[in-house]
Chains A and B, each alone.
Chain A
């Protein structure tokens, strides 16, 4: 069974940093591009970032470019999202997702709250 389990969310002050993790199991993690998607409270889904299966190619939404860094450790089957210089508008549930041409498996999400 495919499973994705996020961790690392929490309360952080504006300008602070946080690192999210997403542990994958039940599939060959190193074969898949992985993504982060977020959902602000009461709002819709927003694509955040992606990384290719080797970790060499990364892409970011304009709103997080230069502040967030996606990475992965295939030996540990784990995806990461390093979030720096956090803003109030980054407050959201962050989901990791496995993607081929669709987001077929999602983690349960981890809540990030940016507030003083």
Chain B
């Protein structure tokens, strides 16, 4: 099972919005609504930001939102803040053989 495809880096200025894409296949993102997104600051533990494509856990800022179309999921961060600068990973359920696949990660830089 190949990793999901994310852009290596994105950037934006404070207050702007950015979107990170995550492209999979009809065997993972396209087949299940179990897409989640994780924020990871350097040296820290990944933090769940979005689950079930669009749901936000308690503790995650409402500036974070998720969506999906076909085999591609997206994470949008609105009103960028300096604290949003981090690595972001998407993840999808992919069936019983290799059940979970992560994206390669996207480094977000807040200019």
Contact = CB atoms under 8 A, between A and B. Distances in A.
Interface of A: 35, 37, 44-47, 50, 59, 61-62, 95, 99, 101-104, 106-109
A50 B96 CA distance: 11
Interface majority SS (helix, strand, loop, mixed), chain A: strand
B105 A102 contact: no
B29 interface: no
Contacts of B93: 101
Interface stretch (B14-22, B46-54, B75-83): B46-54
B91 A104 contact: no
Interface string B80-111: 00000000010101001111111111000000
A45 B96 contact: no
A45 B99 contact: no
A50 B46 contact: no
Contacts of B38: 45, 103
B45 A103 contact: no
Contact of B102 (A45, A101, A102): A45
A45 B89 contact: yes
A103 to B, nearest CB: 6
A44 B45 contact: no
B48 A102 contact: yes
Contacts of A106: 45-46
A106 B57 CA distance: 14
A44 B52 contact: no
Nearest to B52: A101
B11 to A, nearest CB: 19
Given A45-B105, A47-B99, A47-B100, A103 B57 contact: no
A50 B99 contact: yes
Contacts of A109: 45
Given A44-B102, A102-B36, A106-B45, 20 more contacts: A44-B105, A45-B38, A45-B89, A45-B91, A45-B105, A46-B3, A46-B102, A47-B101, A50-B99, A50-B100, A59-B97, A95-B46, A99-B100, A101-B93, A102-B52, A103-B48, A103-B91, A104-B48, A104-B51, A108-B45
